[in-house]
Amino acid sequence: MSADRGLWITFEGGDGSGKTTQSRLLQEWIEATGRTVVRTREPGGTEVGVLIRDIVLHHRGDIAPRAEALLYAADRAHHVATLVEPALARGEVVIQDRYLDSSVAYQGAGRVLDATEVRDLSLWATGGALPDVTVLLDLDPAVARVRLDAVDKPFDRLEAEKADFHARVRAAFLALAETEPERFLVLDASRSVEELAAAVRARIEPLL
């Protein structure tokens, strides 16, 4: 990472693990230091991404697993090229909810596609771009489901999947973290919001 290049942080984990809350808290803390922060998400971080998000998460009826993986990769290609890379080139901090690790976990393990092929597809789509730090908020899917049930909104296509799907996704995330320990920070998402935020800040502060 060059001295004038920004910092790219992604948050991963199952639905209900607290990614949105921790992303927001990290943004507030970094902005208080005077740095410019771009907070975004996949899918849906661009106008094109919003359209793709509506298809992959809210389409009524089935989407073939390979088609789903390709839609996520298309969103990712546009998102990195038009939003992430320009922000990093300006020296800004990008905080992002989900990236290619989600595709490997959800489309690879969840949909039982070849995880290596899914990862390679995203790497091709983005020119090999990888975050500086990935925070994995690990949570038992049963606990996550209780959290989601407490929120008064309908489940999207992935949230509505059965327990065994979410168990495969969790296992895939943990396996990914084991293969790239230098990039991943794995946290027990059942800890308090304040404890998690402090652990994230401790990992990020030396990089700012």
pLDDT score, position 94? 98
- The answer as to whether 135 is a domain residue is yes
- The answer as to whether 176 is a domain residue is yes
pLDDT score, position 3? 53
Q: Is the separation of the CB atoms in 87 and 6 below 8 Å?
A: yes
Distance CA(146)–CA(142), nearest Å, equals 7
CA neighbor of 99 nearest in space, from 69, 124, 121, 130: 130
- The answer as to whether 80 is a domain residue is yes
Check which CATH number belongs to the domain holding 114 and give it: 3.40.50.300
pLDDT score, position 65? 87
* Residues contacting residue 117 through CB under 8 Å, at least 6 positions apart: none
The pLDDT tens digits for 162-176 are 678 888 889 999 999
- Total domain count for the chain? 1
**Single pTM value for the model:** 0.90
- The answer as to whether 188 is a domain residue is yes
Range of the domain at 154: 7-207
The pLDDT tens digits for 138-159 are 999 888 777 666 666 665 555 5
- The answer as to whether 1 is a domain residue is no
- The answer as to whether 115 is a domain residue is yes
Per residue of the chain (208 residues), what is the pLDDT tens digit? 455 899 999 999 988 899 999 999 999 999 999 999 999 999 999 999 999 989 988 777 788 989 988 999 999 999 999 999 999 999 999 999 999 999 999 888 877 789 999 999 999 999 999 999 999 999 998 887 776 666 666 655 555 566 788 888 899 999 999 999 999 999 999 999 999 999 999 999 999 9
pLDDT score, position 154? 63
The identity of residue 70, as a single letter, is: L
- The answer as to whether 2 is a domain residue is no
- The answer as to whether 127 is a domain residue is yes
Distance CA(81)–CA(76), nearest Å, equals 8
